[in-house]
Structure formats: C-alpha cells, structure tokens
Amino acid sequence: MKNSRIIEQIRPFFEPSSVVVVGASKHVDKAGHVIFKNFVENKRTGLFKGELYPINPREESILGYKCFPSISKLPVNEIELVVIVVPAASVPQVMMEAKEKYAKAAIIISSGFSEVGNRELENEVKRIAVEGNIRVLGPNCLGVYDPTSGVDTLFLPVTKTLISGEEVIATPRPKEGSIAVVTQSGAFGVAALDYLAGRQLGISKFVSFGNRVDLDESDLLNYFLHDERTKVILMYIESVRDGNKFVETAKNVSRVKPIIVLKTGKTKAGAKAALSHTASIAGSDEVYNAAFLQTGIIRAQNMNEFFNMGKALSMQPPARGRNICIITDAGGPGIMVADECELRGLKIEGLSEESFRKLEIMRESGQIPKFASLSNPIDLTGSVTSDMIVKVTEIVYHDKKVDGIILLGLHHVPGLQEDYVDRVALIASSREKPIVVCDIGETEMALYVRRKFEKFGIPAYASPEEAAYAMYALCYYGEYLNSVNR
Amino acid sequence: MKNSRIIEQIRPFFEPSSVVVVGASKHVDKAGHVIFKNFVENKRTGLFKGELYPINPREESILGYKCFPSISKLPVNEIELVVIVVPAASVPQVMMEAKEKYAKAAIIISSGFSEVGNRELENEVKRIAVEGNIRVLGPNCLGVYDPTSGVDTLFLPVTKTLISGEEVIATPRPKEGSIAVVTQSGAFGVAALDYLAGRQLGISKFVSFGNRVDLDESDLLNYFLHDERTKVILMYIESVRDGNKFVETAKNVSRVKPIIVLKTGKTKAGAKAALSHTASIAGSDEVYNAAFLQTGIIRAQNMNEFFNMGKALSMQPPARGRNICIITDAGGPGIMVADECELRGLKIEGLSEESFRKLEIMRESGQIPKFASLSNPIDLTGSVTSDMIVKVTEIVYHDKKVDGIILLGLHHVPGLQEDYVDRVALIASSREKPIVVCDIGETEMALYVRRKFEKFGIPAYASPEEAAYAMYALCYYGEYLNSVNR
C-alpha cells in the first residue's frame, strides 16, 4: 500500500508530463541555462515528451520558449515537476507557488541550506512540501538524469571549451542501460557518469539526492525495486538517514535486485571529512557493515570495486555456490586470480571427475597442449588456440560442480584469435552460471577484445584481480539469494 | 668487485656488439622469424647498432641477411649475444658452439626444460654455460626488450591481424623511460608492456628471466642498481631463488632506487597454481613479507597497485614524512581519499597555523568560496576556479608541516579550466615534496587532464583510492630511506 503510493509519487521525477524550470536563464554560464537547454534539446529530438516552461521575471523568452515571471503566471492550473535553480532564500516562495499549482514533484538544485548551517530555511521548505504534498529531491543536489525519458537536470554541460578553444566531452551522459545510480555526493555522481559513459556502460536512471529534505536513499531504493529498466542499483552514501527504514527497504530490494553500496567516511579522517561535506554523521563503520550484511547489500571498498562489481551484476546471473574454475592461457595472471579468489573466500576446487577425464583425453590426443595444467587454474599455456579455449570452456560450463568461470584469454599469444569471444559468448548465452573474463593491456587489441565481450553481456576486466572480485560479488549475491529463498 | 664483474657480464644482454639468432626463420608464424625481424627492423632504423647473424641450416638468407648453418660456421671468431629459439633438445649443442665462439651471453627462449620436468637437460645447459663462462637468461623466457639499444627478443609481434583482416596493436613496446620491468612470468611481462605502452609510461629495460638457470632476480636487481636509465624497478615473481642473496641485494638497491614487487602465489590456491606454472615453491607468504619489510621493498597487492605505485615512484620524490594534505573540489571523492589514506596509515593532520591563517584570509576576502572547508581535506567546493586551486596548492606546497599533497581537480565543475595543470606543475617543479593528482572520468577531458599532468611528471589517477595508495608508496619508501640513512 504505502509502497505503491510512494512509487507513484516518485514517478513524476522521471516521467513528468510537464516541467517548469524556475531560474531558467539565457546566460550560458548559469546553471538555469544548462538545465533548461537540456530539456529544450531533448524535446527537440523527441526524447523528452512533456510540456516545458521557463520561469524568469527578466526574460520574455528563452531558447524560443515563452518565459513566465513566476509559477503563478503560468497558463495552466496544474504542473508536475518543478526544477528550482534560484538562490536559497527564494526557494520557499517558489515552493508556495508550486503548491498553488498542485505540483507533484520538486527538484531543488539550489544550495545554501543545511549543508552550510541554514537548517531553518530547509525546514521551511520541508513544511511547504508536506502541506502541498510535493515530493522533493534536494536541496543541494544535481537531481535526475533519465536517458529514456530525457529528463536531465544536470547543470554541468556535456562539453567544456578548453582555453585553446577546443570543445571536449567533459560531463557525458551514459546511454540507456540497466544500472541505476543513486548518490548523495553530486561531484561523485557526475564522475560516475563520466566513468560509465567512457566505459560504454548504460544506466537506467541517475539520481543525486543531496540534503534529502524529503526523499532519501531508502525511498529511491524502493522506487528502483519496481523500476523495470533497473537490474542493479549502485549507491554512493556518506550516511543513511533512517537506519530502520533503510534496513527494511534494502532487504526487500535485495531479494529481487542487487544493491552495491560505496559508503564513505569509514575512517576517522573520512568521517571528519564527511561531516564537513554534507554534515553527515558517518556513524560507526561496524554498524554499517552489520546492516549491509543483514540486508544482502554488497559493499564496495573503493571506486573501482563499485563499478566493476556493478558491471558484473548488471551483466551476469548470480552464482549458485562458491566453487570457481579459472581457465587461462597465461600462468602468472592465473595465479593472480587464484590468489584473489582465495583472499575473498571463493573456492578453487577442481572439476568433476567426468570433466577432468574429458580434459585428460583432450590432452592425450593433442587437442590441448601436452603441458597444459588440468588442475584449477586450467592453464592452456601460450600454445593456446581459439578452439582449445572454446572446447575447454564448454566442458567447464556444463560441469555441475562449477559455480562460475573466470576466463583469462590474454590476446598476446600467437594462436588466439578474437573469434573465441563470439564462441564463448554463445556457450554462456544459456546464462546457467556466471562467467567473467580478463584480458590485460591498454592498447588496441585488448580494448577490442574487452569491448567485444561486453557487447555480448560478458563483463571483461583489465586486471586479474578485478575479474576475481567481480566473481566474488556474483557469488556473494547468489549466496544471499540462497539464504533468503531457503 | 664481484658486483662490478656481474654488471659487466650482464651488459651484453642489453648492448651486444653482435647478436646471433639461432633458429631464425622465414616463416612468419615462427618465433625465430619474429625475433630476427625485430633486430632487422631496429638495425634498419639505426636503433640497433650491433652485428646481426641468422643461423638456420635450411636457409641461404633471411630478410636479406646471409644465413649460416651453425654458429661454428660464422665468419667471426667471437660473438657476444646468442639468442636461442630451437627445440629444447638442440640447445646443449648450440651452447657448445657458442662456447667455441667465446659468446658472453645467451638468451634461451626455448621451453621444454625444468618447467616440464626436464631438469637434466637444464642442468646440461647450465654446465656448458659455466664452463664457457656464458651468462644465461632463461630458458623458457621472453628475454630482453631495450628501447634504447634496440635489443628485442620478444617473439610476439607488435601487431596481430584479426580474422576480419584488420591489423591491430597487440603487443606494443613502450617508449623509453625510467621504469625497469623484471618478470618471472613471460605472459605477465607482455601484459605489462601492453599496459605501460597504452598508458604512455616509458621503460628503461624489460627482462623476462623464466627458469633462471643462471641469472636470477637478484642479479638483475644488482644490474639495475647501476643502470643509469632506471629510476624504479618493477618486479613480478612467484618465488625467489636464493633468499639470502635476494635480501642482501635488495637492501643495497633500495637505498638508491625503489623496488616494487608483485609476489604471487600468496594463498594456498595461488601457491598451488604457481607450482604447476613455473615449478616454483612459493614459500610462506609471511617469510616474503618479512623479507620485503627488511629490504625496503614495496609490495604491491595486485596488478593495479603494481603499476600505479611504479608510476608514482618513477615521477615523484619520496615523502619525508606521513602527513598528507588533500586539496579537492569534490567533497565525496575527498572523503574517499581521506579514508584510503587512513587505512594505509597515512596522517591527515591539518596545516601549520600560518598556512591555515593564510587560507582563512583568502576565504574572508572571497578569494576562495565562503563555504570552503579549510580542515584537511581542504574542500574548495564546486565553485572552484583555476586560480583558487593554484593559490591554495602553492600555500600548502610550501608548508613545512605537510609531507605530500593529493590534489583532486575533478574537471566537471564549471569554473575549473585546464590551465591549472600547468600552473600546479610549475609549483611542484622544485620537487621539494611529492604531489599526486586525481581526476575521475573516462571521456575526453578527464583523459586530457590526466595525460597533461603526467607530461609534467605528476602522476595522475582515475580514482581517489589509487591516488591515495600511490602517495602511500611515496611515504613508505621515504620512511625506508630515512631509516637507513639515519
């Protein structure tokens, strides 16, 4: 009951039938210009389908749209989403007018509230929102980017002009995908968009909630539980607003979709920094760990884990158990994976008797190298060919004793051609168990192979340890699902 | 005494006056073709300056060079370096002939020795080498790549042709630089070259030593201690051959140059994999940790640490102490750095009273934002400009209480232009203390900013935690130097 109401209330943030930008501007340097222009462009291309109104008492029109001096002067009786980009002191007045027009949702981009000690002003905004039944994101936030509906309240333009006069991509918007990004820090949020776009990873929705005067991380988790486009939720937080609500919600969500959390302020120095950043009381890190454990949340310990685990869970099914088989053409990197797996508590047991015998026969008959190692890691050595990797992967994939595969196909060896990628993807297309791959290198062929794997939905990593902890995340989540569905 | 002799003996591997490639071939798929062609190309361009002789009884000439049926038939009485790419069983005979020609050095690429159980054959090779006073790299190795002298015994060509017919960079050779790469695993070695080349990091020399029938990791450390081009040594090992020799040598080297070691086989699963890979007895990981601690070796826990720490130490001076100042324009990422610093044992204390007062005056006079946080991290907020970052960095850089600076200049904010890079580099050019930077993102501007910093010798990282542990490596090594020079 309560859940379905809040989902309906959050919907206008992502799919508003009308958007009013209060503080829209003609000046290219202004946040109100960038945001309004985002909507104008997305409306022009047909991506954004709602009505659009700029509010600015000093302009007749902005980017071809008739401008209104205030919300009260709008020629309609009802509006859905209000995006507010005016100085903090003016926000209560704007909210009052939004209330008169039955606004359903407000994104308050403006800063200058509790994060700088102005609690009273923030409380006033809150009071009006409650009275008017307006759900609020912010203040002091970036708001929403939704690649499907074209809502884009990010005041940072996609490009930036260098002093040299060259225009370069600076704050890209990722393509459509299945990862929801929820963040307390706006700066980390745009950095995440830049990372995901550059790595060709798509998102379902992006939300920066800032001071969370109203909607908080738990409400958003709840929304994404029901959002069909979202398969995995990546969340950056410095604190949780309501512990009980968070644990209850996260439990419900984790049963259906994985949540990966990057919780910062975990040390004394970090907690002090968090306090001065968002006035967040970081709280004891042990308490957070306990809460995450209880709710099935996967905790990323740093930025790379955050994205790498997110990629794995958005592309591959969770593992049923912890027995991982490593297939490699490179001895050293195979050891690195084995090390990292064991450090993370995964098991590197062997194959079933049956599979092992099949591999032995292949070795005896020269189908795989005479000196291939058949214990786990299975090392096909530098004499590997595409055929060998494919045949061995097929046997391991169908071995019931194996819960997941980490495949290292270092492309440097002479006999390995890139067609093994398509063929491995075909084997893994039944999605019976997770597979992740690694190829090391930062030049053409490595980038090509990794990208090709990911086009087939197989997450590819640039280091052995990344592949290992990505598999760890798949196992961790799989075990959580087992435990709650028992 | 002994040291200077071995250095003189290793020199011909990198600067041979003559090279004989035994097993040179016309067939493009053969290792003996790739290796011989490397030398031919490098001789043609003037990079490689030694004499060059192909040996193959079935050819008259290869790539325009007159071919000889065996070493004995060479028209010279002395040779320096012999590169051997013939089947294992023929290697003793080749070594015998090399001995007759007073060869100084042999790189045995061929595999099929102790790594597959053929200890006797390996011992025979060893015996001949000792008798002939020939120093040996290998067998079962890739040998040497030296960007300065043009020695390149890598049998993996730079490019690979995809099935589509497109030719792509597959095993690039990095440019000249100051990092020496020493590796037991050949596969990891070429992967490292691919990584370093792609990240525009240069190397002084690359050595893959394989089964180390003669020269081992300690000999090579010793050589690089005296190699003027080498500023930092990156070493991948699965085991150490002679513990005492290693500790003694590493101690001598660490006093002058940092050594970063990636030692794999640290877990049970990893040790088992190492055993089947190079027949290395990995040994207790605690013993290795103790040895590394004693010798000042910086241990990287994974591939990313290995390269990221190497980059820091090749570009920046070690820190005198552990008090690090974080300057940021992004609150969340600033917390992430603070967390990682504390987890690594670095101190995030404040500035000196004097510097703090300077910053306060700047804040009061509006030179930095009213809501900037002046505790550590110094958070200049999203209102940052190039001027602000530069002025604050200058104050912190000259603060004697601060031992190192981590600067986060996330480029997404509107007011930050890329000219701050040049200006920060100018401040840091006195090299009084280390500085590392971070900008997050994988699209144009992030890549541009990071690359620009690195052109100025300031290591730039794509994640906050990477910047933090890079600084940790600079502090760790600085403390080691303090302790031995006390």
Three-state SS annotation for A293-332: HHHCCEECCCHHHHHHHHHHHHHCCCCCCCEEEEEECCHH
Q: What is the mean pLDDT of residues A178-186?
A: 97
pLDDT value at residue A44: 97
Which residue of A267, A412, A444 is in closest CB contact with B339? A267
Best of B329, B336, B346 to disrupt the A interface by mutation (most A CBs within 10 Å)?
B336
Inter-chain contact B162–A194, Cβ cutoff 8 Å? no
Which residue of A269, A304, A419 is in closest CB contact with B342? A269
Give the nearest chain B residue to A189 (CA atoms).
B332
Give the nearest chain B residue to A141 (CA atoms).
B382
Give the tens place of pLDDT for each residue, A48-57: 999 999 999 9
Name the nearest CA neighbour of A403 among A302, A301, A308, A478.
Answer: A478
d(CA B318, CA B298): 12
Which residue of B348, B373, B379 is in closest CB contact with A269? B348
Strand A61-62, strand A65-66: pairing: antiparallel
**Are B6 and B227 contacting, i.e. CB atoms less than 8 angstroms apart?**
no
Instruction: Enumerate the residues of chain A whose CB falls inside 8 A of the CB of residue B199.
Output: 442
pLDDT value at residue B231: 98
Q: What is the mean pLDDT of residues A15-29?
A: 97
Residues with Cβ < 8 Å from B127, sequence gap 6 or more?
A: none
Name the nearest CA neighbour of B372 among B391, B388, B349.
Answer: B388
**Residue B345 CB-half CA count within 13 A:** 7
Best of A163, A194, A346 to disrupt the B interface by mutation (most B CBs within 10 Å)?
A194
Locate B406 and state its tokens: 């981590």
At the topology level of CATH, where does A318-484 sit? Answer: Rossmann fold (3.40.50)
**Are A395 and A426 contacting, i.e. CB atoms less than 8 angstroms apart?**
no
Residue ranges of domains in chain B: 2-312, 318-485
**CA-based nearest distance A140→chain B, Å:** 11
d(CA A321, CA A347): 9
Q: What is the mean pLDDT of residues A172-182?
A: 98
Kindly list the strands in the beta sheet with A324-328, ordered across the sheet, starting from the edge strand earlier in the chain.
Answer: A378-379, A324-328, A404-408, A435-438, A460-461
| Residue B378 burial class via C-beta count within 10 angstroms: exposed 0-12, middle 13-18, buried 19 and up | buried
Instruction: Enumerate the residues of chain B whose CB falls inside 8 A of the CB of residue A348.
Output: 269, 272-273
Inter-chain contact B413–A156, Cβ cutoff 8 Å? yes
Instruction: Enumerate the residues of chain B whose CB falls inside 8 A of the CB of residue A371.
Output: 115-116
Inter-chain contact B445–A168, Cβ cutoff 8 Å? yes
pLDDT band, residue A260 (cuts 50/70/90) = very high
pLDDT value at residue A1: 44
In the DSSP assignment, the letter for residue B373 is B
Q: What is the 3-state secondary structure (H, E, C) of chain A?
A: CHHHHHHHHHHHHHCCCEEEEECCCCCCCCHHHHHHHHHHHHHHCCCCCCEEEEECCCCCEECCEECECCHHHCCCCCCCEEEECCCHHHHHHHHHHHHHCCCCEEEECCCCCHHHCCHHHHHHHHHHHHHHCCEEECCCCCEEECCCCCCECCCCCCEEECCCCCEEECCCCCCEEEEEEEECCHHHHHHHHHHHHHCCCCEEEEEECCCCCCCCHHHHHHHHHHCCCCCEEEEEECCCCCHHHHHHHHHHHHCCCCEEEEECCCCHHHHHHHHHHHCCCCCCHHHHHHHHHHHCCEECCCHHHHHHHHHHHHHCCCCCCCEEEEEECCHHHHHHHHHHHHHCCCECCCCCHHHHHHHHHHHHCCCCCCCCECCCCEECCCCCCHHHHHHHHHHHHCCCCCCEEEEECCCCCCCCCCHHHHHHHHHHCCCCCCEEEECCCCCHHHHHHHHHHHHCCCCEECCHHHHHHHHHHHHHHHHHHHHHCC
- Give me the average pLDDT of each 10-residue run along chain B (486 residues): 82 98 96 98 98 98 98 98 98 98 98 93 98 97 98 97 95 98 97 98 98 97 97 97 96 98 95 78 84 97 98 98 98 97 96 97 96 95 96 98 98 95 98 97 98 98 98 98 90
d(CA B459, CA B201): 10
d(CA A449, CA A455): 10
d(CA A365, CA B92): 29
Strand A203-208, strand A143-145: pairing: antiparallel
Beta bridge partners of A84: A22, A108
At the topology level of CATH, where does B318-485 sit? Answer: Rossmann fold (3.40.50)
Instruction: Enumerate the residues of chain B whose CB falls inside 8 A of the CB of residue A413.
Output: 156, 187
Which residue of A187, A413, A445 is in closest CB contact with B331? A187
Inter-chain contact A373–B160, Cβ cutoff 8 Å? no
**Are A258 and A232 contacting, i.e. CB atoms less than 8 angstroms apart?**
yes
Domain A2-312, CATH homologous superfamily name and number: Succinyl-CoA synthetase domains (3.40.50.261)
**CA-based nearest distance B428→chain A, Å:** 22
Judge whether A2-312 and A318-484 match in fold. Answer: yes
Inter-chain contact A417–B199, Cβ cutoff 8 Å? no
Which residue of B270, B331, B341 is in closest CB contact with A277? B331
Which residue of A191, A268, A412 is in closest CB contact with B412? A191
d(CA A36, CA B461): 33
Torsions phi, psi for B136 (to 5 deg): -125, 135
The answer, as to whether pTM is greater than 0.95, is yes
Instruction: Enumerate the residues of chain A whose CB falls inside 8 A of the CB of residue B463.
Output: 302-304
d(CA B456, CA B358): 28
